[in-house]
Amino acid sequence: MRLLTHNMLSSNIKGVANGFPLLIEVEKVIEKQVDFNPDFLKNIFPKIEWQALVQASRSMGYSELPEESPESSMLDSDDFLMKFHHVLLELHLEEGALVCPETGRKFPVNKGIPNMLLHEDEV
Amino acid sequence: MANRPELIAPPEIFYDDTEARKYTSSSRIIDIQAKLSERALELLALPDDGVPRLLLDIGCGSGLSGETLSENGHQWIGLDISQSMLNIALEREVEGDLLLGDMGQGLGLRPGVVDGAISISAVQWLCNADKASHEPRLRLKAFFGSLYRCLARGARAVFQIYPESVAQRELILGAAMRAGFAGGVVVDYPHSSKSRKEFLVLTCGPPSISSEAPKGKVGDMESCSDDESSGDEENRTVCISDRHRPRKKQKITNKGKGREWVLKKKEQMRRKGCAVPPDTKYTARKRKARF
Ligand SMILES: C[S@@+](CC[C@H](N)C(=O)[O-])C[C@H]1O[C@@H](n2cnc3c(N)ncnc32)[C@H](O)[C@@H]1O
């Protein structure tokens, strides 16, 4: 699972008011190279929750994203776009867990696939 | 279709390791799914600007449909309930991210973030009740409600489906309309029994001229207007297909409608906002035969 997906995912447990962002417990991170596409990055940028992305990238061991939500003018900077690209599309949580911020319920991640199946009493 | 997989077993059981591999090594299936996905992507009518979008593939299976999205440059997130199908997707090194999840439990995604969704040959599975706790109407509602929320305004969702009957198509379409979607059914090759294909084309947001389903028949809206509160038992079961379980199992599940069953039904009606008398020790007690 990439941080792009993490940035969209929220805990879906019944009764949870704010299930975003899911905390990341890391056992193993891998990197896979993806073609750089600035158009995609510019298009997705306004939909990204910046704080959550920064936090997530740190828990994955990457600390080069600016803390503050960048101005959209940053999208003209190749240096910024490359970092954004790397964090969003190239870092994978391979093994670990996603943790619901409200209930502490863990969604295990195996072979890069988060198990988001809910128990019957969570639906 | 004589052997509808939905009627054989729940999806996470039907698509086991063997079936998942069989499914994905048939060149005929690969070819059909690719064509269906191409058509679904076309019906999504994304802006023709070459910008890759973030799409969902619901019931993504082993990634046959998702591969079409990747080939067209898009990023995607796939959801499937079968670990075996997802394992094959990993083997095939699909480019999308995969989630193990049940669409009938609703999608856990932030509002407004997704640019479009496709689902190829999967949503009809929601019409079956695979567990005692499964209520197809509620599962369809959870699914379409959550899909509506996570799509960007004006975004589309295209479902290629194999409905078992007219009632089943209406059950699905009705749930989509109640969630706020506009749109209808597009039928390709309506006169050929072999190549006839059905797509539900839904648009997120208030109905407008452009949200009407593209060429092809538009669904009969009248049949979709029955409201929530009319969910009485008879009405409901008509649309839900009965899986043909082996005799033995049927016996177990058919054991009388006891107090528990009544309490569950009452709770369901309460959740729908109907006035239901409180549960007491008299609820569903055995009554003496009179006269
Ligand atoms: C016929 S396969 C299609 C797979 C893929 N879309 C393709 O075109 O090859 C149907 C898929 O739907 C999945 N499915 C069925 N019910 C589901 C549910 N409730 N939630 C998520 N996936 C489901 C099954 O596991 C199966 O992988």
For chain A, the residues whose C-beta falls within 8 A of a C-beta of chain B are: 1-2, 4-5, 7-12, 19-20, 34, 37, 39-40, 43-44, 47, 49, 89, 111-118, 120, 123
- The CB density around residue A116, as the number of other CB atoms within 10 Å, is 21
Q: Is residue A123 part of a domain?
A: no
**Residue B244, pLDDT score:** 42
**Segments of chain B scoring below 50 in pLDDT:** 1-2, 217-251
Contacts of B78 (CB under 8 A, 6+ apart): B56, B57, B58, B60, B63, B66, B86, B89, B94, B96, B97, B98, B99
Residue A70 carries which DSSP code? P
pLDDT of residue B249: 46
Q: What pTM value is reported for the model?
A: 0.81
What are the residue ranges spanned by the domains of chain B? Answer: 5-238, 252-291
Task: For residue B108, give the nearest of A1, A11, A47 by CB distance.
Answer: A11
Nearest CA in chain B to A21: B110
| Beta carbons within 8 Å of A38's beta carbon, 6+ residues apart | A75, A81
Half-sphere exposure of B14 toward its Cβ, with a 13 Å CA cutoff?
16
The CATH number covering residue A75 comes to 2.20.25.10
The pLDDT assigned to B229 comes to 39
How would you class B124 by CB atoms within 10 Å of its CB: exposed for 0-12, middle for 13-18, buried for 19 or more?
buried
Residue A120 lies in a domain: no
Exposure string for B15-27, b = 16+ CB within 10 A, e = fewer: beeebbbebbeee
Query: Could you tell me the fold of the domain covering B5-238?
Result: Rossmann fold (3.40.50)
Positive or negative torsion for Cα B208, B109, B85, A36: positive
Rounded CA separation A43/A46 (Å): 7
Chunked into runs of 10 residues, chain A (123 residues) has average pLDDT values of 98 95 98 96 97 98 94 94 98 98 98 97 94
CB contact under 8 A, A12 and B102: no
> Per the structure block, which two tokens stand in for A47?
């939909």
- Write out the two tokens for B281: 């020790």
- Residues in chain A with CB shorter than 8 Å from the CB of B79 are 116
Instruction: For residue A122, tell me if it sits in a domain.
Output: no
Quote ipTM for the complex. 0.97
What is the model's pLDDT at position B253?
52
Task: Report d(CA B78, CA B107) in Å as an integer.
Answer: 11
Q: By CA distance, what is B77's nearest residue in A? A: A5
**How many domains is chain A built from?**
1
Size of interface A-B (CB pairs under 8 A): 84
Which strand (E) or helix (H) includes residue A49?
none
In this structure, is residue A46 part of a structural domain? Answer: yes
| Residue A121 within any structural domain of the chain | no
Q: What is the extent of the structural domain holding A40?
A: 3-114
CB contact under 8 A, A115 and B100: yes
Q: What pLDDT score was predicted for residue B50?
A: 94
